[in-house]
Amino acid sequence: MSEKSRYTQTYPISWEQLHRDSKALAWKLLEMDFFEGIIAITRGGLVPAAIIARELDIRVVDTVCVASYDWQNQKGEIEIHKAVDHGGTGWLIVDDLVDTGRTADVVRKMLPKAHFSSVYAKPAGKPLVDTYVTEVSQNTWILFPWDAESQFVKPIVGRRD
């Protein structure tokens, strides 16, 4: 499937919605075992990890730094800029989204005993996540608030061809 036809829908997320959804993930995680710390997958997992760390009163936050996208284009190989190597026992991995599962697979292999959570999950990546809040279709591009600016949009009636 070409990159142009891969995403046929866009789902914009506001800062408020991301905060609510991250807090909802924290509520789900509250039922789990105690977590020693959080590992945020950068960059998308940083904001949800901060919210979850606050809600669960977790003070130890680390990062796994990877790059798998350049805007909507998936990169060939996942670039690991910073890894962790303690196995993951007692740790919570937090990401904003699990899409195809490529990043999740790499991080799971790095931290096989950690609990993997994501705010949003798509069908292809869902099997790699232990806990998530919202499922979106595979053909939907989630537009996160850090990738967007508020601007005027013509009313729907004015956009007809």
Residue 161, both tokens: 């061809």
Q: With both helix axes pointing from N to C terminus, report the angle between 15-30 and 46-55 in degrees, rounded to the nearest 10.
A: 50
**Pairing outcome for strands 61-70 and 37-42:** parallel
Interval 65-82: pLDDT, tens:
998 766 555 556 888 898
- Cα gap 102→108, rounded to integer Å: 10
161 is catalytic: no
Q: What is the CATH number of the domain that holds 61?
A: 3.40.50.2020
Interval 11-61: pLDDT, tens:
999 999 999 999 999 999 998 878 999 999 999 999 999 999 999 999 999
Positive or negative torsion for Cα 101, 130, 87, 61: positive
The pLDDT of residue 73 is 56
| pLDDT at residue 5 tops 90 | no
- Catalytic pick among 57, 62, 85, 95: 95
DSSP for 113-145?
TSEEEEEEE-TTTGGG-SEEEEE--TTEEEE-G
Burial of residue 76 (CB within 10 Å: 0-12, 13-18, 19+) is exposed
**Residue 85 domain-assigned?**
yes
**Residue 2 domain-assigned?**
no
**Residue 56 domain-assigned?**
yes
- Catalytic pick among 62, 70, 85, 99: 99
99 is catalytic: yes
The pLDDT of residue 133 is 97
Its domain, for residue 57, covers 7-159
- Catalytic pick among 21, 57, 96, 130: 96
| pLDDT at residue 8 tops 80 | yes
**Residue 138 domain-assigned?**
yes
Q: What is the dihedral of CA 139, 63, 22, 126, to 10 degrees?
A: 40
**Residue 1 domain-assigned?**
no
The pLDDT of residue 1 is 45
- Give Cα separations from 152 to 16, 121, 149, 155 (angstroms): 19, 30, 10, 9
**Pairing outcome for strands 73-82 and 91-98:** unpaired
62 is catalytic: no
Q: How many domains does the chain have?
A: 1
Burial of residue 36 (CB within 10 Å: 0-12, 13-18, 19+) is middle
